[in-house]
Structure 1
């Protein structure tokens, strides 16, 4: 037995016998899941996914989630980030409001209004705005394009989702608000960084320890939304 980062005892590497119908990639994915301490911790603590710990870690360090906030979770399935947002913003108690959207269906989450809808659908933004009932304090995006196996293509497709999320955030965020989105290493493109710095006072990249070391994912964290009127004056 060995101790992992979060103090859990677990076996030294679980290996599976190769099933005839299981591909090599699915075999590796399943072994990785079984050996991932965050996966077992999420199951034990009632979170929908290991991704919950990424947001928890970011929030512990940067204090972005507060009671009473309005939060939008883009690409919410299976719901780990929405669970954290609901708890930290106290939407279950009626103090905050959390709205999530994903084209994949999700089981209901207490304190969260969920939409089974593609964020890129034409009517999705208006539905989110209506459900939120006011300007957003935080826009979260854990969206990523389905991988093709071609790194550059996957990077461009995911960055396209980030750009769409940012355009929505600029439209709906209250002054002082926050934008947190998944990007892929290979660099946040210069145009996106320029836009972020134009609209937010502080922009940084973060990689929580719950992100797998071999993953190319990063998160861009933009703090202190300047507000559209202030940006328009420059």
Structure 2
């Protein structure tokens, strides 16, 4: 009974924080599916990664806030307008996730596990011979709380994302990946440095203070 009571207290505290979170309220006001949109927004505004006309691949895309942000960046800005959630689109967005994904106008979606070869082949078929400008990855495994086990699962996803980038990214393209401080973090930074000329760790303001998540951005591929 004590465990159940503690669990209820934790859930109640999380719900209270969520309801009063300014980014949750802003997402509701601006029509984003989650507060995660503002994490990508800050990363993009800091580094200037996403521009109209690009090909962007969104890994771990559900529920779709990152794809929504990119889609609005690709909306034409004729006559001072822009940022539209629907309508004309200058660019290509390919999204992939294991979970369901409510359609977003102009976004191609593949449902499946990025770790499976068949799903990866579907993604590669969608990309074709076009070089990718930016790969954004909010992928994360279900964490068990066992440090070494979780670190290995995160590292596996990052390795796959980097490998995909090495095969499909433009030489001056960028990869954005969600990672976690703690066991294995230093190895992930080293992995990025081995593959990219510029590596930037960013902890967006929209990431909760209590969260260990941060984002690694690699820009400009090194030769394999």
What's the TM-score bracket when you normalise by the shorter of the two chains? 0.7 to 0.9
Tell whether the 8 Å contact from 1:97 to 1:132 is kept in structure 2 after alignment.
no
Q: Greater helix percent: which structure? A: 2
Query: Partners in 1 of 2:152 and 2:14 — Cα distance?
Result: 24
Point out which structure has higher relative CO (alpha carbons under 8 A, 6+ apart): 2
RMSD: 2.1
Give 5+ residue unaligned stretches, structure 1: 1-18
Aligned residues: 208
- What corresponds to 1:16 in structure 2? none
Secondary structure of the corresponding residue to residue 108 of structure 2? strand
Query: Partners in 1 of 2:49 and 2:92 — Cα distance?
Result: 15
Structure 1 stretches of 4+ moved >4 Å: none
TM-score normalised by L of structure 2:
0.85
CA shift at 1:53, angstroms? Answer: 0.2
TM-score normalised by L of structure 1:
0.81
After the TM superposition, which residues 1-234 of structure 1 pair with which residues of structure 2 at under 5 Å, given as runs? Answer: 23-90=8-75, 93-133=88-128, 134-186=130-182, 188-190=185-187, 192-226=188-222, 231-232=223-224
Secondary structure of the corresponding residue to residue 54 of structure 1? helix
- What corresponds to 1:8 in structure 2? none
Query: Partners in 2 of 1:93 and 1:108 — Cα distance?
Result: 16
Query: Partners in 1 of 2:17 and 2:147 — Cα distance?
Result: 21
Secondary structure of the corresponding residue to residue 166 of structure 1? helix
Tell whether the 8 Å contact from 1:98 to 1:132 is kept in structure 2 after alignment.
no
Query: Partners in 2 of 1:89 and 1:152 — Cα distance?
Result: 40
Tell whether the 8 Å contact from 2:74 to 2:89 is kept in structure 1 after alignment.
no
CA shift at 1:25, angstroms? Answer: 3.5
Tell whether the 8 Å contact from 1:179 to 1:223 is kept in structure 2 after alignment.
yes
Query: Partners in 1 of 2:24 and 2:35 — Cα distance?
Result: 5
